[in-house]
Each structure stands twice: as C-alpha cells, then as structure tokens.
Amino acid sequence: MAICVGAKTRVICQGMTGHAGTYHTQRMIAYGTKIVAGVTPGKGGRKALDLPLFDTVREAKAATEANASIIFVPPANAGSAMIEAIEAEIPFVVCVTERVPVLDMIRVRQALEGSKTQLVGPNSQGLLAPGIAQLGVMTTVNTRRGSIGVASRSASLTSEVVAQITEAGLGQSTTVGVGGDPVHGIDLKTCLDLFLDDPETQGIVLIGEIGGTEEEEAAELVARLKPQKPIVALVVGRHAPRERRMGHAGAFMAGSAGSAESKIAALKAAGIHIVPNASAVGETMRQALAEWGVSA
C-alpha cells in the first residue's frame, strides 16, 4: 500500500503543454500513472499527448473526476497554480517548480489551512509508489515494490538511498521528496506519520539536511509515539559552513539553529538509527528490520 496515491488516483497536469510538463507527463504515462487531462489557460478545448486540455482546474476536475494534480508551472505563476488546485479541492497536489517566491508560498500555506488538500513541494522531485504511480520527476531506475517508506529533503540522495534499499532486497512502499525550499507543503514529520499509519510500510528512512527544524519535529513525534517500526535517518551537511546556503534554499544554518549536529542528536535521542554516511543506509535498514524481527 502506498501513501497519498493508489490505484484510483487520477491526475491532471497543470502546465502540461510546456517543455518540462510535456516531457515528464510522457514519462509518467509510460510508467502507468493515470494522467487524465492537462490544464493550460487559453488552451481549453484542445488536446496534447492525446489528452484533453482545460482552462481551469475546476473544469478539469469536473470533467475527469481528477483527485490529484502535478504542477509544472514556472516560478512566477506556480503559487497561483497551487492555490487554484487547493481552491478546487484537489486532494493531493505535487509541485516540482523551483525558485517559487517565498511570499507566494506563504500565501499557499495560508490557503492550505483548513483545506482538503495535501501538498508536496515545491522544489520537490515528487512522489513515487513503485508499480502504482509516479507524480513528478523522480527516477524510476533501481526501484522496486516493497515495504520501506522514504521521506527526503534531498533529490540526489534519494536516488542513491532508493537504489541501496532495492539492492538490499527490501524495496519501497512510497518515496516522497518533501522539497528543498524553506516554506513548502507536507514535511518529514507528516510523511513519518503517514508511514506509521500504513500497515504495509514496515520500515522508514528519513533523509535530512541542514536548515529548518523538520528533523527535530520528526524526532519529537517518534519520542512521543514510540512506534513499533524501525526508523533510519541520514542527515547531511555536518561539514557545511554556517550562514551560507548549501544547494537548497532551505539548507541554511543561522547561528546554532538548523545544524546537522542538533538534528542528529534529536533523532538519536528518540531512538532512531543514525547512519554516518549515505553508503550505509540500505544495510542499516536491513539490520534494523532483523533486530526488530520484522519481515520486509
């Protein structure tokens, strides 16, 4: 069982007629994702990739019964696209767009409050439930259906960790890239909570990095719930200089806040298995499952 998506997920693509939208929609369709329409203002009534186009999300949802959206809209209009999907009550939205203005994302977060929408992103590689659906730009190479849930702040590390999990014979239930911006949708804590409630997810991998407090908040949840599932965490950026952005806009340490050391300490205190480097994640998860007596 996957989180957020399933066999009945019907997806519209906002910005499907752009170069990136067209390319990745083709990839998602080839993988088996049920893409039902595209949304591009001014192109309603036409077709692209043999799919109908609509001017608005509401029109697309009414015509296709879509329950998810993937957004490939450029940064200047991505915030408005997310809000449009939220106001149309699309249950699940993924935005892969990078460099969305922070003020726009604050407006998006306000729109999310009390809404019926779960948002992944922006600046996210998306979500992949092997054999079920791909929403985003995440690689499908070296993936396999399995019982390990992966929630990550880093796209490149996700590919490495997923390959290790597959090599260890475990596979993934769902992989979620929460996004690298300082203001975004669902975070590591929310993903962790969803994985803990999923009966087919037997183990969880968290991939964190410097900046923000997501890892500490996830640690607080684990300390409070004391879940009966092994959790492995990798936090990168131990040698990153302070007050200098490292890659993602959210990977920024100011003073003593957001350091890799503080995150590792919080996760370790909650009983989470800490791996020293990216090459050890798959084997550490395999050993953790064995220690817990879990059959993955």
User: Please, what is the Cα angle at 207 between 237 and 23, to 5 degrees?
Assistant: 105
The pairing of beta strand 133-136 with beta strand 126-129? antiparallel
Active site residue 184: no
For residue 54, give both structure tokens: 């609509």
Residues 6+ apart with CB under 8 A from 265: none
Neighbouring CB atoms inside 10 A of 239's CB total 6
DSSP structure string for 106-145: HHHHHHHTT-S-EEE-SS--EEEETTTEEEES---TT--E
Environment class of residue 156 by beta-carbon count within 10 Å: exposed (0-12), middle (13-18) or buried (19+)?
Answer: exposed
Task: Tell me how far CA of residue 218 lies from CA of 94, 124, 193, 207, 223, in angstroms.
Answer: 21, 19, 9, 11, 9
Which residues partner with 152 through β-bridges?
Answer: 177, 207
The pairing of beta strand 172-177 with beta strand 145-152? parallel
| Choice among 24, 184, 239, 248 that is catalytic | 248
Q: Catalogue the active-site residues.
A: 248
